[in-house]
């Protein structure tokens, strides 16, 4: 009775045990749910995640590997011993095994395949030949198919004898002809509620949507969503049934594609940004920022020419008018950096990638990324401005002021883009509500004010010293 009423451990309990009471972890993890383990693995530091993973049983490990993030899998799988990889390969669905072995060196993958039973190896090797972005790359070879003319009773007996039974997917059974070409599909409901002497041909839906193994996985997923299918049969060039793509696989693909599109839209990669090293984040986001700087410099030159054409003197004394010509750079950089940080944080908060326990670490890493980008963009702008403003009085001081102001303003925009979503979640407000126009407006306004104040302060200080 005590075990039944015992409260399930929380992430805070796991952290405490990892730090102070490692001996308590085995008992704590004895009946942990795989979904909880997957969440903990994503919230902990990668080394702690590995320690936790090693203490759980095989079945829980297999389920958690399917649920946890790509970043965590990339850290855990390559460090697993061969015997554990073999054990996981024997309990995971074939498509998941292929994904797992793709994370290890080819010789190690071959060694694992040699130790898996012959039938399983044959199916896995077939899956390995398909590109990850294709239907063959996401299909499973675990499905149930019966010959045309099979009676319902015989089909049910066959399913009972089959230990896999469609991998528990609940996607029904397929009816095939003598060479293995799909003729129709029978749902589980039809199978279980029909007379046992009826044939599958009488119950099947003959109008199947078929795809080949080389078709793009996103197109396949969209077809499953469009026609509300539990699974989609995959055929070879001769039309023979070789696998199925399930609705769960389609959902995973669509979620991944949406995540990629959203993050690429703001100049970031499709990877989990909150777990990448700062230097890698900077490398991925810097090209968009460099393009923004170049666009801003071009705009400054256009304004320079426009002011000159109107009879003004933009180069007189490096004053407020000269500084204002660089405001478009700030508007572009602050908006882009702010929306990058907020988009990454909003998605990470919504998907559970960032739990409350990781907020401080994620905030620090994202701000450090923004500061680095700000300094690099400020340096680039300052150097270019030195040449563009050669005729401006105190050109060196002016360029220094512009570069420093950009670095500080962009760093502030990054902080704002991270802090606002986190504060919104703590206040019980959906971060997505304020991560759009409101945050962009606030970022642009505050960053522009900071830019003007810092640039003019540097110019005033240099003038006073000079």
In this structure, are 122 and 184 located in the same domain? no
Q: Using CA atoms, how far apart are residues 59 and 64, in angstroms rounded to an integer?
A: 9
Are the C-beta atoms of residues 374 and 407 closer than 8 Å to each other? yes
* Kind of pairing between the strands at 241-246 and 231-235: antiparallel
* Lowest-confidence region among 209-223, 365-379, 380-394: 380-394
Residue 211 belongs to some domain of the structure: yes
Residue 158 belongs to some domain of the structure: yes
pLDDT computed for residue 147 by the predictor = 93
For 310-359, how does the pLDDT look when each residue is reduced to its tens digit (9 = 90+)? 555 555 444 666 777 788 888 888 888 888 888 888 877 877 777 777 78
DSSP letter assigned to residue 105: -
Residue 245 belongs to some domain of the structure: yes
- Total domains in the chain come to 3
Q: Using CA atoms, how far apart are residues 359 and 274, in angstroms rounded to an integer?
A: 10
pLDDT computed for residue 313 by the predictor = 54
Is a pLDDT exceeding 70 seen at residue 430?
A: yes
Both tokens of 101, joined, read 């072995």
Q: Using CA atoms, how far apart are residues 144 and 201, in angstroms rounded to an integer?
A: 15
Residue 351 belongs to some domain of the structure: yes
Residue that the structure tokens 């077809």 belong to: 223
Buried/exposed code over 321-339 (b: 16+ C-beta within 10 A; e: otherwise): bbbbbbbbbbbbbbbbbbb
Q: Using CA atoms, how far apart are residues 189 and 171, in angstroms rounded to an integer?
A: 10
CB atoms within 10 A of CB 425: 18
Residues 6+ apart with CB under 8 A from 168: none
pLDDT computed for residue 179 by the predictor = 93
Is a pLDDT exceeding 50 seen at residue 169?
A: no
In this structure, are 420 and 298 located in the same domain? yes
In this structure, are 50 and 193 located in the same domain? no
In this structure, are 20 and 124 located in the same domain? yes
In this structure, are 241 and 336 located in the same domain? no
Q: Using CA atoms, how far apart are residues 348 and 359, in angstroms rounded to an integer?
A: 10
For 292-324, how does the pLDDT look when each residue is reduced to its tens digit (9 = 90+)? 777 777 777 776 666 666 555 555 444 666 777
Q: Using CA atoms, how far apart are residues 192 and 215, in angstroms rounded to an integer?
A: 33
Among candidate residues 130, 162, 178, the one where a domain is terminated: 130
In this structure, are 156 and 112 located in the same domain? no
Percent of the chain with pLDDT over 90: 12
Q: What range does the domain containing 311 cover?
A: 266-465
In this structure, are 7 and 126 located in the same domain? yes
In this structure, are 356 and 284 located in the same domain? yes
Percent of the chain with pLDDT over 70: 85
Q: For the whole prediction, is pTM greater than 0.75?
A: no
Residue 137 belongs to some domain of the structure: no
Are the C-beta atoms of residues 123 and 136 closer than 8 Å to each other? no
In this structure, are 289 and 420 located in the same domain? yes
SS3 216: strand
What CATH number does residue 120 fall under?
A: 1.25.60.10
SS3 242: strand
What CATH number does residue 175 fall under?
A: 3.10.580.10
SS3 236: coil
In this structure, are 15 and 118 located in the same domain? yes
Q: Using CA atoms, how far apart are residues 381 and 387, in angstroms rounded to an integer?
A: 10
Question: Residue 380: which of 290, 461, 249, 457 has the closest Cα?
Answer: 290
Is a pLDDT exceeding 90 seen at residue 43?
A: no
For 204-238, how does the pLDDT look when each residue is reduced to its tens digit (9 = 90+)? 999 899 999 999 999 999 999 888 888 899 999 89
In this structure, are 310 and 390 located in the same domain? yes
């Amino acid at each position: 009775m005590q075990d039944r009423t015992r409260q399930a451990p929380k992430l805070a309990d796991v952290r405490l045990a990892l730090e102070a009471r490692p001996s308590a972890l085995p008992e704590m993890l004895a009946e942990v749910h795989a979904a909880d383990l997957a969440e903990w693995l994503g919230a902990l530091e990668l080394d702690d995640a590995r320690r936790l993973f090693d203490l759980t049983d095989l079945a829980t490990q297999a389920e958690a590997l399917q649920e946890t993030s790509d970043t965590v899998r990339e850290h855990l799988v390559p460090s697993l011993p061969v015997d554990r990889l073999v054990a996981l390969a024997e309990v995971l669905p074939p498509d998941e095994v292929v994904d797992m072995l793709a994370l290890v060196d080819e010789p190690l993958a071959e060694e694992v395949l040699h130790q898996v039973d012959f039938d399983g190896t044959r199916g896995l090797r077939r899956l390995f030949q398909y590109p990850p972005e294709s239907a063959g790359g996401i299909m499973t070879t675990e499905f149930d198919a019966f010959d045309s003319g099979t009676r319902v009773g015989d089909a049910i007996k066959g399913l009972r004898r089959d230990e896999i039974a469609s991998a528990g997917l609940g996607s029904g059974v397929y009816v095939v002809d003598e060479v293995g070409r799909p003729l129709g599909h029978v749902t589980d409901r039809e199978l279980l509620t029909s007379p046992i002497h009826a044939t599958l041909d009488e119950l099947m839906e003959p109008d199947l949507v078929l795809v080949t193994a080389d078709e793009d996985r996103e197109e396949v997923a969209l077809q499953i969503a469009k026609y509300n299918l539990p699974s989609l049969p995959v055929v070879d060039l001769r039309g023979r049934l070789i696998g199925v793509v399930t609705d769960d696989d389609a959902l995973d693909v669509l979620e991944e594609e949406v995540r990629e599109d959203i993050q690429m839209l703001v100049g970031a990669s499709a990877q989990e940004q909150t777990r990448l090293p700062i230097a890698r984040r900077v490398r991925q986001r810097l090209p968009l920022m460099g393009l923004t700087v170049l666009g801003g410099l071009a705009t400054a030159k256009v304004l320079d020419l426009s002011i000159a054409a109107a009879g003004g003197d933009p180069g007189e004394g490096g004053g407020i008018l000269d500084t204002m010509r660089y405001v478009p750079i700030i508007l572009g950089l602050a908006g882009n950096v702010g929306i990058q940080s907020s988009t990454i944080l909003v998605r990470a908060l919504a998907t559970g990638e960032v739990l409350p326990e990781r907020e401080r670490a994620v905030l620090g890493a994202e701000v450090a990324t923004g500061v680095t980008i700000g300094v690099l963009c400020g340096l680039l702008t300052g150097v270019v401005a030195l040449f563009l403003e050669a005729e401006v009085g105190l050109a060196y001081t002016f360029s220094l002021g512009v570069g420093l102001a950009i670095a500080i303003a962009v760093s502030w925009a990054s902080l704002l883009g991270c802090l606002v979503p986190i504060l919104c979640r703590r206040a019980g407000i959906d971060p997505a509500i304020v991560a759009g126009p409101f945050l962009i407006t606030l970022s642009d306004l505050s960053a522009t004010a900071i830019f003007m104040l810092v640039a003019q302060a540097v110019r005033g200080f240099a003038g006073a010293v000079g």
